[in-house]
Amino acid sequence: MGPPPSNGILGARRRSDDGEVTRRWRSLLLAASVLLAATPVRGEELAVAAASDLKFAMDPLVAAFRKERPDVDVRVSFGASGSFFAQVSSGAPFDLFLSADADYPRRLADAGLGSAEGVFVYGVGGLVIWVRKGSAADPARLGPEALLHPSVQHVAIANPRHAPYGRAAEEALRSLGLWERLAGRLVLGENVSQAASFVESGAAQAGVFARSLALSPAMRGKGSWVEVPKASYRPLVQGGLVLRSAKAPAAARAFRDFLLGPKGRAILAEYGIAPPAR
């Protein structure tokens, strides 16, 4: 056997071992920091019930809001405003209600489900007549009479019973003298987004639905459309309410304030939802 290692050799080995451990810890900490940076920030969850005409506008709205408030995780459900009104009245767990008809939030506030001063108006919508690209029933050329073109077998609108855009479509068609003439051709979507999808898919040859959907990336450039004369239907004043039962009331108020601020209004305007009259 040779002589035992000297203290100097042992000390060198310990320093080498200590350095290796330090390097490993640094590598682990670096990997952990990279993983944390790549993990999306999940914070307080905000449950929003939104009218279907907001289906495409909400993506950029939420993205812009999250840049300012990454601590809020916005979860949006879309549907007919009348259906959401019934759900909220029955205790559905939403924090914020964005309706296509400002009357629904007012009625909820009157029922004690939100404060009267908490009702707000975020925009004014519009109706269009839309057909697929290449259709002989071009509303840009024929106007509302395009709905009577022989090639149009079905006209899609949202169900007037619970969709504000459906009620507005019925009102406009009656005012224009087309409602009775279209009897038997109308197909009803559960909400205005579904009505638009009927036309986009070819299940209906024409539709009367929200301008915001016609301006969406999903439909832009795929069809021809014209605005329904505004005098033929009452203004589609759209409003919202922070619900009294909200689990995230502060987050709901923050999103409301963003929606009513310059960035929110600009995004809504891109989708044809005009600012409310002052």
* CATH code where residue 74 lies: 3.40.190.10
**If you average pLDDT over residues 116-135, what whole number do you get?**
96
Number of domains in the chain: 2
Same domain, 129 and 187: yes
Assigned domain for 29 exists: no
Judge whether residue 66 has pLDDT over 70: yes
Question: Which range of residues forms the domain containing residue 64?
Answer: 44-124+235-270
pTM for this predicted structure: 0.83
Assigned domain for 23 exists: no
**If you average pLDDT over residues 244-249, what whole number do you get?**
96
Same domain, 153 and 221: yes
Same domain, 120 and 239: yes
**More confident call, 50 vs 218:** 50
Q: What string of DSSP letters covers 185-239? A: TEEEESSHHHHHHHHHHTSSSEEEEEHHHHTSTTTTTSEEEEEPPGGGS--EEEE
Same domain, 209 and 142: yes
Same domain, 191 and 70: no
Assigned domain for 175 exists: yes
Under 8 Å CB-to-CB from 270, ≥6 apart: which residues? 57, 60, 215
Tokens of residue 212, six digits: 């915001």
Assigned domain for 9 exists: no
Same domain, 183 and 150: yes
* 3-state SS class at 113: coil
Assigned domain for 184 exists: yes
Same domain, 85 and 161: no
Task: State the pLDDT at residue 128.
Answer: 98
CA angle 85, 91, 93 (to 5 degrees): 95
pLDDT in tens, 166-185: 999 999 999 999 999 998 99
The overall average pLDDT reported for the chain is 89
Same domain, 135 and 160: yes
Assigned domain for 63 exists: yes
pLDDT band per the 50, 70, 90 thresholds, residue 24:
low
Judge whether residue 155 has pLDDT over 90: yes
Q: What string of DSSP letters covers 131-163? A: EETT-SS-HHHHGGGGGGSTT---EEEE-TTT-
Assigned domain for 4 exists: no
* Chain-centre distance for alpha carbon 171: 25
Tokens of residue 71, six digits: 């601590």
